[in-house]
Amino acid sequence: MPARKTRKKTRPKLNGAHPFRVGRSRTGLGVFATEPIGKNKYIVEYTGPLLTNAQCDEAADNRYWFEVNSRWTIDGSPRSNVARYINHSCRPNADPMIRDRRIWIKAIKNIEPGEEINYDYGKDHFNAYIKPHGCQCDKCREKRRKERAEVRAANARKRKRAERAS
């Protein structure tokens, strides 16, 4: 009689097979970790139809296109592509890795539960879609807050000088 294969019983995850969830963020929808994600761990694959660049030139512009190489682009617009909800950050905690016309999002830092997963979209996408509206990542918001505080302090110093002079 052959040996019977035994299955290892594991507890199913509450949110499926992924260590993240899609939820509301400052810029719309975002992807948030539900459990710790270690550095160099693959998080999710950016999926969608594979298009040639000739097909992309004929079609209307799409903000979910992800260029794989000089010949191929992935159209990530289907809602089944959960990676499309990962937002841009100038100080990201993840990075896209391209292997054999497939794109995987990989953690470049340890990500804690509740932390938003984000990566740098690149200069072309940034200039076309993000820059006209202003970057909303934490680094840029903090930078603008500091600049506004410096301007307020400079204006207050000017007012004090003007009051002393009069």
Answer yes or no: is 124 within a domain: yes
Give Cα separations from 66 to 70, 110, 125, 141, 164 (angstroms): 11, 25, 10, 26, 59
Is there a single domain that holds both residue 163 and residue 85?
A: no
Q: Indicate the residue type of 16.
A: G
Is there a single domain that holds both residue 53 and residue 87?
A: yes
Is there a single domain that holds both residue 106 and residue 165?
A: no
Give Cα separations from 126 to 6, 96, 133, 146 (angstroms): 51, 15, 10, 22
| Tens of pLDDT, residues 107-147 | 999 999 999 999 998 888 888 888 888 888 888 888 889 99
Answer yes or no: is 12 within a domain: no
pTM, two decimals, is 0.74
Whole-number pLDDT of residue 3: 54
Is there a single domain that holds both residue 128 and residue 150?
A: no
How many structural domains comprise the chain?
2
Give yes or no for residue 53 having a pLDDT over 90.
Answer: no
Whole-number pLDDT of residue 72: 92
Please answer whether residues 31 and 85 qualify as being in contact, where contact means their C-beta atoms are separated by less than 8 angstroms. yes
Answer yes or no: is 80 within a domain: yes
* Confidence band, pLDDT 50/70/90 cuts, at residue 102: very high
Please answer whether residues 45 and 6 qualify as being in contact, where contact means their C-beta atoms are separated by less than 8 angstroms. no
Q: Which residue has the tokens 């592509």?
A: 81
Answer yes or no: is 91 within a domain: yes
Answer yes or no: is 146 within a domain: yes
Is there a single domain that holds both residue 84 and residue 151?
A: no
Q: Which residue has the tokens 């202003």?
A: 134
**Which range marks the domain in which residue 76 is found?**
20-133
Is there a single domain that holds both residue 106 and residue 25?
A: yes
Is there a single domain that holds both residue 108 and residue 91?
A: yes
Answer yes or no: is 2 within a domain: no
Is there a single domain that holds both residue 97 and residue 166?
A: no
Please answer whether residues 95 and 105 qualify as being in contact, where contact means their C-beta atoms are separated by less than 8 angstroms. yes
Whole-number pLDDT of residue 2: 55
Whole-number pLDDT of residue 4: 53
| Tens of pLDDT, residues 1-50 | 555 554 444 444 444 578 899 999 888 899 999 999 999 999 999 999 99
